[in-house]
Amino acid sequence: MASSPQTTPPPHHVAIVMDGNGRWATKRFLPRVAGHKQGVESLRRCVKACADRGVGVLTVFAFSSENWNRPPEEVSGLMQLMVAALAREVPRLNADGVRLHFVGERAGLSDKMVAGLVSAEQTTAHNTRLILNICFNYGGRWDIARAAAKLAEQGLPMTEMNLDRAMALAHVPDPDLFIRTGGEQRLSNFLLWQSAYAELFFSDKLWPEFDEAALDEAIAAFQGRERRFGQTSAQVSASAA
């Protein structure tokens, strides 16, 4: 009697490039910052959905190190939005058992914003239901270069394990599922080291349109895949059995 195919467990760590906020606003003849505000609503919905579905870690790309090159009014609006979102969302996230980590270069951010990031991390440090990593002023190449510099400063050998432990996301396992919204199919310098074996899922939905059904579609696609990590299908089946 043939054995039934193994089902991949749900992802423990989901990473998302939240792309399409500006295009969502432009389609509605609104300023691009209005799209980013709507994107915060989508993130709130996604955090709740991930927690409800047993996801342990959610990592989102909120602002890349390359985003400083956008129009000044959009960058300024994003900074103001971040400060406002911290004041509004942190109490709610804390009540929902979400632990916040802000990942990225803090040099160059305002003192007020840095203080807000530190306060949010301290306020939610005891929570265990979901870890939410918000990558802000982050880049994958920056992450790798920073880790290498840290090892050199400590006089440690440049091994794969040491580099991994020096990365900005060393406090969580690598992503299982990498989602990008907005119809683009590239990594855009996000979690380059950590996503070596992540399953990629690209959605045509703009981020403000990404809802629970879209998340379920991505998770279902993930569970339909066989994760081999360099092994053969026969080896994976034997290990599962």
Catalytic residues: 19, 67
Residue 139, both tokens: 């880049």
Where helices occur in 155-231 by DSSP H, the ranges are 160-166, 212-223
Quickly tell me which residue has 């310098």 as its tokens: 189
The torsion of the CA quartet 145, 161, 61, 8, rounded to 10 degrees, works out to 150
Contact 97, 128 (CB under 8 A): yes
Distance from C-alpha of 156 to C-alpha of 189, rounded to nearest angstrom: 26
Instruction: For 58-91, give one letter per residue: b (16+ CB within 10 A) or e.
Output: bbbbbbbbebeeeeeebeebbbebbeebbeebbe
Contacts of 136 (CB under 8 A, 6+ apart): 62, 63, 82, 102, 103, 104, 117
- Reduced to 3 states (helix: H, G, I; strand: E, B; else coil), residue 138 is strand
Q: How many CA atoms lie within 13 A of 196 on its CB side?
A: 8
- Reduced to 3 states (helix: H, G, I; strand: E, B; else coil), residue 233 is helix
